[in-house]
Amino acid sequence: MALILSGGICLTDVPKDKIISGKKGKYANLTITINDEPDKFGNNASITMAQTKEEREAKSPKVYLGNCKLVWTNDVMPKVPPRDGAPMQSSAPQSSSNDDLPF
């Protein structure tokens, strides 16, 4: 699925210890969560600081940075990439040959 989101973040909310210095600049790892329904302001997604596995397991609070709106999509559903060696799953339901349907 190709899509375009438009949004912004509050730079003052980015924790200084989460800014990574690289060869070509400074970076912050983010997580963008796309919601099924827009909020009361029309936002379809939220932006938070990415959490480590340890932070997620410890239920550390997320650092919320901003919102996004979906402004364009090509309406094609993507396949979810496999995680930890799991087989790839399709988003379409699989039909059964034993469903007794005439078509």
Taking only the tens place, the pLDDT of each residue in 27-74 is 999 999 999 899 999 999 999 999 999 999 999 999 999 999 988 888
Q: Is residue 28 domain-resident?
A: yes
Question: Residue 9 domain-assigned?
Answer: yes
pLDDT the model gives residue 90: 53
Structural domain count of the chain: 1
Q: What percentage of the chain exceeds 90 in pLDDT?
A: 61
Within a domain: 89: no
Give how far Cα 4 sits from Cα of 17, 41, 42, 74, Å.
Answer: 29, 18, 15, 9
Give the model's confidence band at 16: pLDDT under 50 very low, under 70 low, under 90 confident, else very high: very high
Q: Which two tokens stand for residue 61?
A: 């609070």
Beta bridge partners of 9: 66
- The contacts of residue 81 (CB under 8 Å, 6+ apart) are 88
Query: Is the model's pLDDT at 98 over the cut of 70?
Result: no
Q: Is the pTM of this model over 0.85?
A: no
Separation of CA 96 from chain center: 31
- Residue 40 structural domain: 3-73
Gap between the Cα atoms of 3 and 72, Å rounded: 5
